[in-house]
Structure 1
Amino acid sequence: MCTTVRRDQRHRTHRRSRSGDVGRSPPKWYRSSGRGTRRAVTDDERTNVIAVGLDGSPAATAALHWAAAEAGLRRVPLRLVHAREPDSRPEPEAMPPGPTGREIVDAARDDVLRRRPDLHVITDVIAGEPEEALLTVSAEARMLVLGSYGTRRLPSFFLGGVSLSTVARAEHPVVLVRAEEDPEAREAGTAHEPEQEEVHPHGPRVVVALGLDHDYANLLRFAFETAEVTGLPLHVVHAIRLPSHVYVPGGPVVPHIAVQYRKEVEGEVRELVRPWAERHPRVELRAALRLEGTAQAVVHEAEGSDLLVVGRCRKHRTALGPRIGPVAHAAVHHAACPVAVVPHD
């Protein structure tokens, strides 16, 4: 599903970091426009890439393969990025030096092009503070893809140690892929062959967790576009807790009031999704309301899916700084599939 794109070198102004890797400040992007000529890449082209952060870990390799598959499906360039702070401290003589940033991105490029020779691949080695580098890369890409260790911790991205605050501050969607994922398998149709007797009834799909209290345009745009390019059904999940007025005071639920309330919520969800379904008529749309806590419902519905899409409100700040919110936090730590965290207003 990839179009043939010439893989050209990208020339840019660069400086040499103390670690021996090449950094850039500021980046200059070029693309071949014919034999022997090059032209500057426009802002639209520069941001129409999928970026992946690399640190040489298994989780980063899983993220690389997922991002490459997504770039192929969306027919956009893939940007491979490694960043680390310059370190002037001498390496202990007994400790063998690790791979340089350039070696990491070059190995990743060779891996990708061996699998996908027609993919346009851009490589970047950045000398600078890793978290700030990630934020800059995210602002310059359609999405940023990183490796994740799920319930244990986020990995040491870029050998510098990056926390969830990066996800909480990124301008564009950030996709976290676990080390044990095999993203290449989704194109071969073998991504979800059960290892045990359990079979997920919904099958492969994209799941989006939708609320009714914010502007979810960015979330729905990303979810519908992803479902369309992958050819997967889109499963919309909205969790509700029954309000007090559906209960007898001090007693059980009044059935007909609960049914009426549920219908009202279903109508709100349908109206919110309807304009996007009309724009993407090829997407098979499914919906589910769950009477349980939002985070629990989202993680449960994501079982067996190819991607879980959750939102992060840009206004969600605390005294400690930006936060991703309880639903996204639960998804990042407990969902077994890749998780896309999409900022919205």
Structure 2
Amino acid sequence: MIVQRVVLNSRPGKNGVPMAENFRLEQSTIADTVQAGQVRVKTLYLSVDPYMRCRMNEDTGSDYLQPWQLSEVADGGGIGVVEESKHQNLAKGDFVTSFTWPWQTVAILDGNSLQKLVPQLVNGRLSYFLGAAGITGLTALLGIREKGHVAVGANQTMVVSGAAGACGSLAGQIGRLEGCSRVVGIAGTDEKCSILVQEMGFDAAINYKKGDVAKQLRELCPGGVDVYFDNVGGDISDAVISQMNQNSHIILCGQISQYNKDVPYPPPLPADTEKIRKEKNITRERFLVLNYMDKQEASVLQLCQWIQEGKLKVRTFRFNLWPLILFPTMRGLISLSLALLLCLRIEQTF
């Protein structure tokens, strides 16, 4: 059977910006028959996420991430429908997902590597299992629960950087649901800031491209910052940390501003910022959601319940281009994804 797939064509270098030329769209073939324990699946959704920038390097800088190999198919979070099955627990028509889904139209996979999905849990929006009810939502929820030390009635203020991203927009809402009394987001346009406040329930939002971020934080967080959900790192995080309270907490989710730089993870803070962190006893520990998979099932059910109740809002933009659906959640990869996958149908989380 002939399929289309996306392979890594070249590496951008540790300090390079990803380009469309780093990938290649090509035809390939898969077996016509399915072996015992296998299933043939049609790809419905793929996820493009910030961590994938590290996989474009020869060395990912992490012991839990494997680099993509040149001229080999890329992979990541994906969802598909079973077309043929020789696995005892999966049948034709079942919807399934995997963290290592190949970027190709049709694939033959080991049935044991797949998780069966229940569309009713997300009101039929299967793509949510890669977003709000998937690893993105789990990252936001478990990050807050495991590293945020949020307590109902404690009158805590949370700040979220990258607040208009897939994870950030959920984190702000979950922070409120978990007990934060005030939630402030940081985003890059007035439109995004408006959506955060008017649709996502944030108390306020800062356009970091306009004005002094530290000054605006002082005005919007008069009692200081108790919890910081950090998606971006860099100057934005330095500004937030300068406003944090004694014994406060940083949820170190991502450092998007640093991913095209050859720096260790997590990137060290500037000396002045690190001095503030130590003097105020601010926790800043690396957070990896995969370390908490024993809490996955209960957490996914919680996320699905909030979605069904309308307490957790998800905003998506859909671009109709081909039979796949892509979630470009990393701005640095959006342009190359669009340029490369011109024939793909793309759905983008807000």
The normalised TM-score by structure 2 is: 0.28
Structure (1 or 2) with the greater strand fraction: 2
The normalised TM-score by structure 1 is: 0.28
Instruction: Choose 1 or 2 for highest CA Rg.
Output: 1
